[in-house]
Homo-oligomer: A and B are copies of this chain.
Amino acid sequence: MTPDPLSAKFAALADPTRRAILARLCEGEASVNELAEPFDMSLPAVSKHLKVLEKAGLISRSREAQWRPAKLEPMALKGVADWLEHYRRYWDASFDRLDSYLRNLQKGKDDGQRN
């Protein structure tokens, strides 16, 4: 247990239901019932998903009478983006290779360097 924070974030994001919940929370805080509405799933199931997101730091929860609204915590996503950023140069390089390959095709003839 107690996996590292980054693993917890990736694991939390690896479920489409949870990603949909995050997308919904972009529009503002929402109660469990509101969040559960789009899904064909029991309330406890949604509650569990919220707990996973909360433990990963991706959302926070408050109390408002009998409601427990959930709120997006976007800085946690920034942590994931920062990890990915180390790899940007690799996919940029891949894209450049693909780009020049396509340019050579476009130029039509065999006037580009082979390889």
Contacts and interface: CB of A to CB of B under 8 A. Distances in A.
Interface of A: 3-4, 6-8, 10-11, 13-16, 19, 22, 26, 72, 74-75, 77-78, 80-81, 84, 87-88, 90-91, 93-95
Say how many copies of this protein the assembly contains: 2
Contacts of A8: 14
Nearest to A72: B90
A73 B91 CA distance: 8
Given A14-B14, A75-B91, 9 more contacts: A4-B16, A7-B16, A8-B14, A10-B13, A10-B14, A11-B14, A26-B87, A74-B90, A78-B91
A95 B76 CA distance: 11
